[in-house]
């Protein structure tokens, strides 16, 4: 079997406090690579003063990490700049938050060239290269310019926006064209794939856009219905591969930690109150402020439940050097304080708010303790927290997932989750009430539907499906 080389901006190295990073890409790709082995190239997360030296290699079981530092200028322009102030907000349909700067766009392409320069000397002719996420869209094009002819796949972990949104971005056409250098482009949902094809058609690439034999073809053996596309003088495939979690592992972990000390301490501290849990990176796409508004509305509408529920919001800080994130961090902290001030009593705190990364074991145990998992993104590629919450439940007494219809996971968890529209405070508040009062039999019925899907299409399945299609 040929070597697999994964490239992403973020690699799951523990941070200064020994915690692995929070974020779907690191968690999912790590689960996939742990099983199959391979090389994983990416940024250390550290900045250096001068041009970084050659990459360093770190072995960890079956995975070899090839790590590169970046200069402060690179990080400012590429990561804090174009990737997280233009691509992230636009792909999450937040045109209002996008900030363009020519210098940052140039930095984005410069760092992609740097990644290509670093990668080329490592390559063997049979290697299969798998590039991840919005930071590295131009990487295949840069590799092709350097004569690389290997199979190169791409997977986008975040949503792909409709044409009217994408086209508001300067150089959107360069970004679209760059993607045609990949052999296979994977999206989280068929909705993202449709948007992508719509963008190609609207850009005029549609003149040459066609399915292989005039109709849609199936790529992969699950939901990977996709298309063969000829555009911008190149041929490639595009398909949906919804990312999964290590379902069996998470089920085992949550059962194991349920009796451990930190989870028991949490249970005791609740004093019999029902736990409502939210777990997210502190990101404006997650709808955390809307969620807290809905929780407050629930308390206002249901006076009898005051003092009987506790909301735990775990939200590690993320991308704090980006002004929109900093502003949001301050706003959420203030909001939690205000809700606690308005509704709290001397022996009850309505919201517990924690800005920290937790171990996966503790997270699994907390999900299992919760009556309700509140996952309310305004837009999300997939949302692995929704899937983890389901996998962590006790089959004999499962909690209820309240899920935004704007999460990619909503496609797979229909029929199990209680859907909400996070923009509708009243409706989300009712969804919380419905979840809290749901009879056991209905909770079990809904949970069975969701866990069946998660057991079947787990992260290993996702990885096999994607790589099978890329290698085929």
Q: Which stretch binds ligand ADP (CB under 6 A): 187-195, 270-278, 338-346, 382-390?
A: 382-390
Report the nearest approach of ligand ADP to the CB of residue 380 (Å). Answer: 6
Which one of ligand ADP, ligand G6P, none is in contact with 357 (Cβ closer than 5 to 8 A by kind)?
ligand ADP
Neighbours of 460 (CB within 10 A): 18
Report the nearest approach of ligand G6P to the CB of residue 329 (Å). Answer: 14
Contact 195, 161 (CB under 8 A): yes
Q: Rule CB under 6 A: is residue 385 a binding residue for ligand ADP?
A: yes
Calpha distance 92→158 (Å, rounded): 8
Calpha distance 128→70 (Å, rounded): 25
Which residue in the shown chain puts its C-beta closest to ligand ADP? 24
Q: Rule CB under 6 A: is residue 133 a binding residue for ligand G6P?
A: yes
Q: Rule CB under 6 A: is residue 74 a binding residue for ligand G6P?
A: no
Contact 388, 399 (CB under 8 A): no
In Å, how far are 272, 276, 377, 389 from 268, measured between CA atoms?
8, 15, 30, 21
Q: Rule CB under 6 A: is residue 25 a binding residue for ligand G6P?
A: yes
Q: Which stretch binds ligand G6P (CB under 6 A): 18-26, 304-312, 390-398, 435-443?
A: 18-26
Which one of ligand G6P, ligand ADP, none is in contact with 10 (Cβ closer than 5 to 8 A by kind)?
ligand G6P
Q: Which residues are catalytic?
A: 157, 380
Q: Rule CB under 6 A: is residue 387 a binding residue for ligand G6P?
A: no
Number of residues this chain uses to bind ligand G6P (CB under 6 A):
12
Annotate each residue in 394-423 with x if it binds ligand G6P (CB under 6 A) or - if it does not, as one string: ------------------------------
Annotate each residue in 236-275 with x if it binds ligand ADP (CB under 6 A) or - if it does not, as one string: ----------------------------------------
> Over 279-291, what HEC string results?
ECCCCHHHCHHHH
Nearer to ligand G6P, 20 or 198 (CB): 20
Which one of ligand G6P, ligand ADP, none is in contact with 384 (Cβ closer than 5 to 8 A by kind)?
ligand ADP
Which one of ligand ADP, ligand G6P, none is in contact with 438 (Cβ closer than 5 to 8 A by kind)?
none
Residue that the structure tokens 């000390």 belong to: 261
Interacting residues with ligand ADP (CB under 6 A): 22-24, 27, 279, 281, 314, 316, 357-358, 363, 382-385, 388
Q: Which residues in this chain contact ligand G6P in the complex, by CB under 6 A?
A: 10, 21, 23-26, 133, 157-158, 281, 318-319
């Amino acid at each position: 079997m040929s070597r697999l080389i994964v490239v992403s901006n973020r690699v799951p190295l523990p941070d200064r406090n020994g915690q692995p990073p929070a974020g779907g890409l690191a968690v999912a790709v790590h689960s996939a690579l742990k099983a199959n082995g391979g090389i994983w190239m990416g940024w250390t997360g550290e900045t250096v003063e001068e041009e970084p030296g050659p990459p360093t290699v770190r072995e960890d079981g079956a995975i070899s990490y090839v790590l590169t530092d970046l200069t402060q200028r690179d990080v400012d322009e590429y990561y804090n700049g174009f990737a997280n102030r233009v691509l992230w907000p636009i792909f999450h349909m937040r045109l209002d938050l996008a900030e363009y700067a020519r210098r940052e766009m140039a930095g984005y392409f410069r760092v992609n060239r740097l990644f290509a320069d670093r990668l080329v000397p490592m390559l063997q002719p049979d290697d299969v290269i798998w590039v991840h996420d919005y930071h590295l869209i131009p990487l295949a094009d840069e590799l092709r310019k350097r004569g690389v002819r290997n199979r190169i796949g791409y997977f986008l972990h975040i949503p792909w926006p409709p044409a009217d949104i994408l086209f508001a971005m300067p150089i959107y056409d360069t970004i679209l064209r760059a993607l045609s250098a990949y052999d296979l482009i994977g999206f989280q949902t068929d909705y993202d794939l449709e948007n992508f094809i719509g963008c190609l058609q609207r850009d005029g690439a549609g003149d040459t856009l066609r399915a292989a034999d005039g109709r849609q073809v199936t790529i992969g053996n699950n939901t990977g219905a996709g298309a063969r596309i000829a555009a911008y003088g190149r041929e490639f495939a595009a398909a949906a591969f919804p990312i999964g979690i290590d379902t069996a592992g998470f089920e085992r972990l949550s059962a194991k930690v349920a009796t451990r000390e930190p989870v028991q301490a949490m249970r005791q501290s609740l004093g019999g109150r029902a736990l409502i849990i939210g777990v997210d990176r502190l990101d404006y796409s997650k709808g955390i402020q809307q969620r807290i508004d809905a929780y407050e509305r629930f308390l206002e509408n249901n006076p009898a439940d005051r003092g009987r529920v506790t909301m735990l919001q775990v939200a590690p800080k993320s991308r704090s050097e980006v002004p929109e994130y900093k502003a949001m961090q301050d706003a959420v902290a203030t909001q939690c304080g205000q809700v606690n001030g308005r509704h709290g009593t001397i022996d009850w705190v309505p919201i517990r708010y924690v800005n920290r990364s937790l171990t996966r074991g503790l997270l699994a145990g907390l999900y299992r303790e919760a009556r309700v998992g509140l996952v309310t993104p305004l837009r999300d590629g997939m949302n692995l927290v929704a899937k983890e919450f389901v996998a962590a439940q006790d089959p004999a007494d499962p909690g209820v997932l309240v899920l935004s219809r704007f999460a990619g996971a909503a496609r797979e968890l229909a029929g199990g989750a209680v859907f909400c529209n996070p923009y509708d405070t009243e409706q989300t508040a009712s969804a919380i009430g419905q979840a809290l009062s749901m009879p056991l039999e209905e909770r079990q019925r809904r949970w069975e539907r969701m866990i069946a899907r998660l057991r079947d299409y787990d992260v290993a399945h996702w990885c096999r499906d994607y790589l099978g299609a890329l290698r085929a």
